[in-house]
Homo-oligomer: A and B are copies of this chain.
Amino acid sequence: MGCQELDSLQNYIREIGTRSKLASREMMGASLLARNRSLVSISSEILKFKSKILEANNYDLSKSKNLSSSMIDRLTLNASGIESLAAAVLSVSSLPDPIGNIEGMRQQPSGIKVGKMRVPIGVVGMIYEARPSVTADVAALTIKSGNAALLKGGVEAAETNSVLMEAILTGINQVGLIPCDCVQLVDPTDRKIVEKLIQADTFVDLLIPRGGKSLIKLVLEKATMPVLKHLDGVCHVFVDKSADLKKALAISMNAKTQRLGTCNTMETLLVSTEIASKFIPLILSQLERVGIEIRACSETSKLYPNSILATEEDWYEEYLGPVLSVRIVKDADDAISHITKYGSNHTDSIVSEDYSTISKFIRQVDSSSVIVNASTRFADGFEYGLGAEIGISTDKFHARGPVGLEGLTSAKWIVFGNGEVRK
């Protein structure tokens, strides 16, 4: 690629970035009514555009040749999918306003009153693949939270995203209360655009990459603005000696098999040695019956010979598929040490009926979600009652775990005085 082309990419980013920044300033002052009415209008336009969206999606699917079946699955949008999309946008309009609230306003000894106001972040940059539903979801969440969005979808979904954006813009313009630049698609055809976008910190205030590990790694290395992301989901279920084995069985099965490819799926099962001889054959035979391959520690393989011996690498692995590593541990301390060493600070569950063991697990496991007697699959914005989810963060800063509308806001201090000066 020549310098000229790079220059023109830079100009392109500068142009859409400047428009986005201006729109974000306007959005900061947009009333709740203006934002909600726009969302309602977008939702109904998505329904009106249904056949056009289906047509575009068929086109995208027809031209995709080398895509994996899971990619095709995520790319496909059918009529009922479009209806849920419209419903999701509508439901965001009925969520409480995430901005404007002033919390904790308290009088100080000097006489000033101090509180914290929730405010939009500015411009949110989103990089994602396949799944065109993200386009509508993120547009809705950024509008609701008073931000502007730059959406860089995958080239494989270009036509679908472009028609979806047409529906979104029609919805915005029909109400005419928020700037149409508050949501913009970034041209996905040039692969170099990602590298430019993740360094455009003059325009993009927060970057949310959603996609494969290579994308996240690129972003971690080169992004110059704050990033909301999760890298790995090596989630554990620890079955304590005091566990109710019926619960343990149901939770382990659900955590591994309800969906195989999600980040909150269990990848390693830890079983207390005291109950291993009873629980291991029970759970592993059930898992095997539904096609899960077992990579076991040597203790486990003695109890369940129909398993492959796990290597050191297995404990670090996020299989995202029909494979599970299983290890017998001495006790809760041993389980916590394993999770601390091999885990990814995403989501870890304990199954136990013992108060002190549960307390210790909660305090010492340093993950974004620590779950007691329930499936790891619950780590999700909707299940947590956030009303929406923009992603899951395994960072400790700004937002951690499932991130809803609040993760798209910041806070500023508001001080009300009556002529006070500092002494």
Query: Hey, which bits of chain A sit against chain B, CB under 8 A?
Result: 25, 28-29, 100, 106, 108, 110, 112, 114, 117, 119, 121-122, 205-206, 226, 244, 246-247, 250-251, 253-255, 258, 340, 362-364, 366-375, 377-379, 383-385, 395-398, 400-402, 410-422
Contacts and interface: CB of A to CB of B under 8 A. Distances in A.
B250 A416 contact: no
A369 B119 CA distance: 12
Contacts of A398: 397-398
A388 to B, nearest CB: 14
B420 A112 contact: no
Given A29-B363, A396-B205, A417 B373 contact: yes
A364 B415 contact: no
Contacts of A402: 413
A416 to B, nearest CB: 5
A119 B112 CA distance: 30
Given A226-B397, A258-B422, 19 more contacts: A28-B363, A28-B366, A29-B363, A122-B396, A250-B419, A250-B421, A253-B421, A254-B421, A369-B414, A369-B415, A370-B415, A371-B414, A371-B415, A375-B421, A375-B422, A384-B413, A397-B398, A400-B410, A401-B412
Kindly report how many copies of this chain are found in the complex they form together. Answer: 2
A76 to B, nearest CB: 23
B396 A413 contact: no
A367 B119 CA distance: 10
Contacts of A364: 28-29
A354 to B, nearest CB: 14
Contacts of A411: 400
A368 B411 CA distance: 8
A122 B206 CA distance: 24
A122 to B, nearest CB: 7
